[in-house]
Amino acid sequence: MINRFTLVFLMTILLIGSIACGQTAIGKAVGDSGNLDSATETSRAGDSILEPTMEKSADAKTEVKTLADVSEAPVGVFNRLWSDPPTLDPHLTSDTTSAGVVVEIFSGLVGFDINLRLIPDLADSWDISNDGLTYIFKIRDNAVFHDGTKVTAEDFKWSLERAVNPDTASPTAKTYLGDIVGVDDVLEGRSSQISGVKVVDDRTLRIEIDSPKAYFLAKLTYPTAYVVDRNNVSEGGLNWTDSPNGTGPFKLSDYKIGERIILERNDLYHLDKAKLAKIQMNLAGGSSMAMYENDEIDITGVGLFDLERIKDPADPLNGDLVVADPGYSVNYIGFNVQEPPFDDFKFRRALNHAIDKELIAKEVYSDLVVPAYGILPPGFPGFNERLEGLRHDPVLAKKLLSESKYADPANRPRIVITVPGTGGTPGLDLEVIINMWLETLGVEVEIQQVEWATYLKDLDEKKFQAFGGLGWEADYPDPQDFLDILFHSESENNHGSYSSQKADILLQDARVETDLMKRINLYQEAEEIIVNDAAWVPLWFAGERHVLIKPYVKGYELTPMTISKMRYVYIQD
């Protein structure tokens, strides 16, 4: 979900270079929108996000500072390649393509700055009770919707209750709001109001959670917790997002499906106002490198076909090259472990051991990706460099297959991996993997492509036997955002229906553990169980990202997660 998840077309990104920077994922599915923002040049948020905060927040009037001392008057237009977002409703957002737009139009109580530090947003301060169960938020005096209407605590209460209302059918509500007392009652139709959310006065909101959790504030940065205008939603009906009355740094001024999205600066924004006059997002598609060289867009990823040329200091585009650190994301193939043949533990392990990831990383990706044998990305809080995982071992793979109940091809059902897409190659890496399964194990696998929005819906409804073309990007820097959200047996984002009593207990203990190192150890132990159970085939962690940014674009940072950041960008001739 943007915290949610990230469906990443790695082959598109790396081989074709058609990514236009801006959409990888948000703790969400990373899609085909053309986003490179899972890479970053900014500093990392440290492990402090793992520690529960029981004291008053930082200075109540803390505001994010702009990256340069430039004029208050908006100047210039930022052009980029994008894809049609499945939704612009923050309460329905579960992918990075949508999130990359939503985070600029809407906002919540708290947010992240470009260094992934938690900062005040529509709330300028908060207090947390000594027991870590009660949060008191103060709404800013200058917090208004795009039309100038004041944002109140009642607006937040209504928005949170809309998000968890069964009629809204949010795919992320339980994941990101389920810690709040009374949310389950609304989700299950026993109540229309969240008992743990109280309006103290127009500017004061009280939220109670079920147990002290170090990551709860960070969860509120996800769009599911964003405020929406009740009148806008009620009067607009099913099409209310055609003219959304948000609170973010930009307003939606034009959206033509398959053609363009245009965002304009919000002059009433409560933090430092955006320096750009407009953001124009080209939805028509095309070669991002060609569009960049023709000055049609201002940012693009660099694919393998162009990388050697662009890295040459003699090339005229070399000066535009930015090499960014890896993002907080992992690509994988998922299995529905309740469906044959993936209900067999040894069959799943056999598939993992049959893949030579090192070979694929070198020969297909020219070492621009890092083979993944775990879930948590390198550099991410809780990353376990000692985790061995299921390494390439064709002898062991054959042995495991022979011991499984699907050793005989006659007893093996048809195997289909569903990936997002509407034609064309599903990805060279997946084709190589399927060939390795066939050559090593004699296991035949078919590929089925499904349009992106439909793919997300079917994924949430657990309709797939197996699913690929996927990545998960962090929504906040805490292992809970990967391991608990993706693998706890009761999580709505556990798309493969994986269940382990041991892992569940560890993940539940980690939720409320206040000692940092004990939390890390609990998550690492749970990760090892999940990996050894072969719930997934972890594929790749992102390596360095190579991006071209026009020299007149200033203040654009490649962050490892999807966050609101376009207000920092400006054009300088």
Mean pLDDT for 140-161 is 98
Q: Is the peptide bond before 341 cis (omega within 30 degrees of 0)?
A: yes
Mean pLDDT for 314-336 is 94
* Tens digit of each residue's pLDDT (9 = 90 or more) over 523-550: 999 999 999 999 999 999 987 789 999 9
| Tokens 């020219």 -> residue | 366
Q: What pLDDT, on a 0 to 100 scale, did the predictor assign at position 62?
A: 34
Query: Which of 17-31, 178-192, 325-339, 492-506 has the lowest average pLDDT?
Result: 17-31
Mean pLDDT for 123-140 is 97
Mean pLDDT for 378-399 is 96
Residue 489 has pLDDT above 80, yes or no: yes
Provide DSSP, 275-338: S-SEEEEE-S---HHHHHHTTS-SEEE--HHHHHHHHSTTSTTGGGEEEEB--SEEEEEEE-TT
pTM of the model: 0.85
Mean pLDDT for 550-561 is 94
Residues of the chain with CATH 3.90.76.10: 5-253+545-571
Bridge partner list, 280: 79, 262
Q: Which two tokens stand for residue 372?
A: 């993944």
Residues of the chain with CATH 3.10.105.10: 329-542
Q: Read off the pLDDT band of 552 (50, 70, 90).
A: very high
* Tens digit of each residue's pLDDT (9 = 90 or more) over 193-217: 999 999 999 999 999 999 999 999 9
450: part of which helix (H) or strand (E)?
A: strand 446-450
Q: Read off the pLDDT band of 368 (50, 70, 90).
A: confident
Q: What pLDDT, on a 0 to 100 scale, did the predictor assign at position 28?
A: 54
Q: What pLDDT, on a 0 to 100 scale, did the predictor assign at position 427?
A: 80
Q: Would you say domain 329-542 falls under CATH 3.40.50.300?
A: no
The closest of 505, 503, 485 to 495, measured between CA atoms, is 485
Q: What pLDDT, on a 0 to 100 scale, did the predictor assign at position 543?
A: 78
Q: How far is CA 1 from the centre of its chain?
A: 5
* Tens digit of each residue's pLDDT (9 = 90 or more) over 151-188: 999 999 999 999 999 999 999 999 999 999 999 999 99
Q: What pLDDT, on a 0 to 100 scale, did the predictor assign at position 30?
A: 56
Mean pLDDT for 279-290 is 95
Residue 13 has pLDDT above 60, yes or no: no
Domain covering 5-253+545-571 in this structure, CATH number:
3.90.76.10
Q: What pLDDT, on a 0 to 100 scale, did the predictor assign at position 386?
A: 96
Q: What pLDDT, on a 0 to 100 scale, did the predictor assign at position 327?
A: 87
